Amino acid sequence: MNVDVSTDCAARIEHHFGAILTELERMRASVAALFDDGPVTTDRLSAHIEADTLAFLQDPTLLGSGFVAAPDALSDRRLYLAWWQGAGRDFLGEAEVPATGEAIDYTRQPWFRTPERTGKLNIAGPYVDFICADEYVMTTTLPVYAGGRMAGVAGADTSVETLETMLLPGLRELGATLVNAHGRVVVSADPHRATGEMIGVPAEGGAERLLSVVRLADADGREQLESLAGWPA
């Protein structure tokens, strides 16, 4: 194994997703304090996080970011996304189903449902985001609590295309694949492995990671997944 290339892949993943985690932790503290201060309206929430979120989104490797409210957490709307997305950093207040125009119940989405259930940081995807981006994305979310309940999730989107640009040269040199916590392909050096394909996670070191760099290795005449790097490390 090329240790330098493996270390570089790990460093690139840490740099990108570590920066996202730092921002989401900052947003979590800020939004929790806002809710602790009294009833929060949609306008008050959006105004509270807009400047810092747009500053964060000056990073061109990010597709979108913001806060997504839990049902009835806001005083004037049941569901609401204070979210900025795309090259123009367009604002989303309510998301609609493309085919019907109806308001979408995002509480069913893994990026919302999983952190609600676990209370932990989550990376959902790869999935095609038909609501915001119409492309494969990875959504990182962190639950925000106030008054003893989840007020919503702070989140950020990264396109799979961005991760390909960032990681594919190193993955090719290693003959490796980036997978999510469930063992689904995010980016692979193998052109026959499609985004979203299930290949599994390593028996050792993969279970606690949200992202893992893996490759098939020969062990006593049998192929098994070998973990080269992961995040969180």
Residues 30 and 65 in one domain: yes
Distances from the Cα of 9 to the Cα of 26, 107, 133, angstroms: 26, 33, 26
What's the first-to-final CA gap in the chain, in angstroms?
18
**Residue 56 and residue 150: Cα distance in Å, rounded?**
23
Number of domains the chain contains:
2
Residues in a beta bridge with 127: 137
Residues 67 and 44 in one domain: yes
Query: For the residues 15-21, what does the mean pLDDT come to?
Result: 98
Residues 61 and 105 in one domain: yes
| Domain CATH for 130 | 3.30.450.20
Residues 118 and 196 in one domain: no
Q: Is the N-terminal amide bond of 232 cis, ω within 30° of 0?
A: yes
Burial (CB count within 10 angstroms: exposed 0-12, middle 13-18, buried 19+), residue 201: buried
Q: Domain boundary residue among 160, 178, 209?
A: 160
Q: What pLDDT is stored for residue 202 in this prediction? A: 80
Residues 89 and 173 in one domain: no
Q: What pLDDT is stored for residue 217 in this prediction? A: 77
Query: For the residues 100-111, what does the mean pLDDT come to?
Result: 80
Residues 180 and 109 in one domain: no
Residues 41 and 110 in one domain: yes
**Residue 116 and residue 111: Cα distance in Å, rounded?**
9
Residues 66 and 107 in one domain: yes
Q: What pLDDT is stored for residue 216 in this prediction? A: 84
Q: What pLDDT is stored for residue 14 in this prediction? A: 97
Q: What is the pLDDT of residues 185-229, one digit of tens each?
A: 999 999 999 999 999 988 766 567 999 999 987 666 567 889 999
Q: Domain boundary residue among 160, 179, 205?
A: 160
DSSP state of 3: H
Q: DSSP 3-state assignment of 67?
A: strand
Show the tokens assigned to 40: 């929060």
Residues 183 and 136 in one domain: no
* Cα 173 from chain centroid (whole Å): 26
Residues 130 and 100 in one domain: yes
Pairing status of strand 90-92 against strand 81-85: antiparallel
Q: Domain boundary residue among 127, 160, 193?
A: 160
Check: pTM over 0.85? Answer yes or no. yes
Tell me the DSSP string of 145-210: EETTEEEEEEEEEEEHHHHHHHHHHHHHHHT-EEEETTSBEEEESSTTS-TT-B----TTT-TT-S
**Residue 106 and residue 108: Cα distance in Å, rounded?**
5
Mean pLDDT in the chain?
Answer: 91
Higher pLDDT, 164 or 201: 164
On the question of pLDDT at 86 being above 60, the answer is: yes
Residues 140 and 181 in one domain: no
Q: What is the pLDDT of residues 106-127, one digit of tens each?
A: 999 999 999 999 999 999 999 9
Q: What pLDDT is stored for residue 92 in this prediction? A: 83
Residues 175 and 156 in one domain: no
Range of the domain at 215: 169-231
Distances from the Cα of 53 to the Cα of 30, 32, 151, 156, 207, angstroms: 12, 16, 18, 10, 31
